[in-house]
Structure 1
Amino acid sequence: MGLIHIVFGQSSVPVLGEAVAMDEKMSGDILCFEDDLSVGPLFILDTKEGRAGRKQFWQQLAGISPLPTPAEEEPAPVAAPGTDEDPEDADRFNTLKAQLKEDPEQEVWIWAGQNARDVCGYYWLVSQLYDFAGRIHIIYLNNLPFLNEKGAVFYPTHLHQILPKEFLKAKKLARPISLAEYELDGDEWHRLMNENAGIRLLEGGKKIKGEPTLFYDKELQTQSGKEFVKAWRIVQQVTGKLKYPVMDQFLGWRLKELIREGKLESRGELKTIRDFEVKLPGESTDNAAGKDNTENPTTL
């Protein structure tokens, strides 16, 4: 019987897959939950209505121009979690639960890096797995040192930053989730659902703090200037300042909302962050220079 390894997000799958192939004691399948629960609505997510609201949120982030008409809608380059092209995490969870019921010996290892996405995913899972206590293990790589490709020590925040061979050391941290954790962490998940913040940030340990949806708007505006700059560069500059970066797609959506509100100007198609540029409202110096040159053409 192989293990079921759980990760949150596709970027963690390749490195963990390589690690699993290196050690027969880790042999098993990798189950990846796609939704990033650190952003967007969580209210009554345990109901069909809650999941529908969340699906609508992802459609907002899917690279579609603000207030599109049906004829103008463009498909997202990658299926967003919970869209029709991508099976919902609720379905994946139901399959997992069926496996655990069918095989009383089946064990699960939940892998979590020190970031809000993994921690929120853990809270969501643990709130529903009490019936399988003793068989569900957690490996939380919280503030732990690892070696990088050059042999230097670093402290990763995400699983994909870790070399496959380093996972073999991390497996020793696997431990069953305690009954107290099922209760406390299950309560924490319900708190997060009821709070229904726009985004959730990791403050350290497993402590999640909710913030409003517009939390990064001011920084996005600060990083924008009087000249047009590619949206992806603005996003990169903002995430580069953060200890725990928020997903690019979310910040791209916030840029579009700032454009819609007239707080930023844009040039190009408002699809992905690589398709348009932004700047602060008002005439740029480039435009002013261009106007002067047109009115006073240089003669040779």
Structure 2
Amino acid sequence: MMNLDRLKEAISQLSPDEARTHMLHLLLKAEMAKDNPQSKDQLVEDMMNLQEQLVNRAQYGVSSWEPDSSSRYVHIVCGDSFAGSLKLALRKLGLEAEHKIIVLREHYAMGPLWRLHEAVGLARRGEWLRDHINDEYDDRDLYDRAEQVTRQLAAIPHDASIMLWSSGNAYEQTGLRHAAYLIKDMTQACYAIAAAETCYELFNRPDLSIRYVHSGEIPDDKLAEVWKAGVRQQLDAARRSELAREWLELEQTEEVLRIWEQETIQSVPDHYYDDYLMATVEQLHRERGNREFMKAARVIGQALGYCEQYVGDSFLEYRLRELIYRGKLHIKGVPRAMRYYSVRSPAAYAPEAKGPLE
């Protein structure tokens, strides 16, 4: 039996956003498994895989993954969840000595990007996050993360190869462009790896198809196979410059929400998901056969599970609160975190704006 202290240590190392994401995914799968025996077996397998992944991450640590003079490959990825899975995959392949990882921790799908490479832009982003997202954001964290990435990039040897990982969502596609901007003056060979798309090619069959909304959902064993397959695109100087230019264009935008549609990053209004959230509440009312209060976490989990975009629970919860403030939803409890309050719709909704329902 797994040591309880090791499991507690593994959980304590999760970031708040990462912990919520894992919990919401498991709760959604549990809901789907109520009437489906095959889903129950998959839920148990997913929980066991998550347990193994978290404990291995805690055991192996993260400091050894920073770039140094021994690095032959440096992987730049978005988010701790994906980074953790990739580390485990590389370790299982015996590649950790020469493979290092840099993590971009900004959630690029939400929040202002305006002049983000400057102090004024970091300050604006920090202010928006503090005002709208139910997390303990500190401006210092933004500066520290930016300085850490700068330091790690400077440590990459000249003869190493840089691997930029992403999948088909605004979060990682925007991160890909930010990474291209950050390395624009570097001369190392650079490659792009489309994680989810490569998984489709390698593993999907006519009778079994899995769609990964973001790279953090991909199990480490599949990431190992992705790396072994060698499916990657070398980015020449022209393509790197194009991606860096696209980042600078994003830095000129004022919107706080982005989606990935028709192979492009599109800035959309902050209320883009409001009708989708209202429809989710209405669907849950129909399933329950009443209009009683339901936990906000249940609504967010359902919305995340069926959303074709990757936006994250924090932004959806911000919009759920906005719907409450506008009188579209009733509330019971205090909205300091989604576990503390419940919501209900007083009447069947009618869509007001263009969004993901269309």
TM-score for both structures, normalised by structure 1? 0.78
Task: Kindly provide the amino acid, as one letter, of the partner of residue 175 in structure 2.
Answer: G
What residue is the counterpart of 1:110 in the other structure? 164
Deviates more, 1:238-247 or 1:263-272: 238-247
User: Alignment partner for residue 47 of structure 1, among 114, 118, 125?
Assistant: 118
User: Alignment partner for residue 185 of structure 1, among 243, 257, 260?
Assistant: 243
What residue is the counterpart of 1:92 in the other structure? 148
Deviates more, 1:123-132 or 1:224-233: 224-233
| Counterpart secondary structure, 1:122 | helix
CA distance in 1, matches of 2:247, 2:140: 26
User: Alignment partner for residue 267 of structure 2, among 177, 185, 210?
Assistant: 210
What residue is the counterpart of 2:285 in the other structure? none
What residue is the counterpart of 1:234 in the other structure? 299
Task: Kindly provide the amino acid, as one letter, of the partner of residue 176 in structure 1.
Answer: Q
Q: Is the 8 A contact 2:296 2:341 kept in 1?
A: yes
* Alpha-carbon shift at residue 57 of structure 1 (Å): 1.8
CA distance in 2, matches of 1:93, 1:189: 17
What residue is the counterpart of 2:219 in the other structure? 163
Q: Is the 8 A contact 1:259 1:265 kept in 2?
A: yes
CA distance in 2, matches of 1:143, 1:204: 15
Q: Which has the higher helix share?
A: 2
CA gap of 1:190–1:37, structure 2 versus 1, over 3 A, is: same
CA distance in 1, matches of 2:174, 2:191: 16
* Alpha-carbon shift at residue 221 of structure 1 (Å): 2.5
Deviations 1:85-108 (A, max 9, x none): 5764311221123213xx322332
Matched residue pairs, number?
262
What residue is the counterpart of 1:58 in the other structure? 129
TM-score for both structures, normalised by structure 2? 0.66
**Which stretches in structure 2 are left out of the alignment for 5+ residues?**
1-69, 283-290, 348-358
What residue is the counterpart of 2:277 in the other structure? 220
Deviations 1:145-193 (A, max 9, x none): 2438xx9553433223323232233221234321111222122112222
Q: CA RMSD in A?
A: 2.5
* Runs of 4+ in structure 1 over 6 Å off: none
CA gap of 1:162–1:47, structure 2 versus 1, over 3 A, is: same
**Which stretches in structure 1 are left out of the alignment for 5+ residues?**
64-75, 283-300
User: Alignment partner for residue 137 of structure 1, among 180, 187, 191?
Assistant: 191
CA distance in 2, matches of 1:261, 1:276: 17
Structure 1 or 2, whichever has the larger Rg, is 1
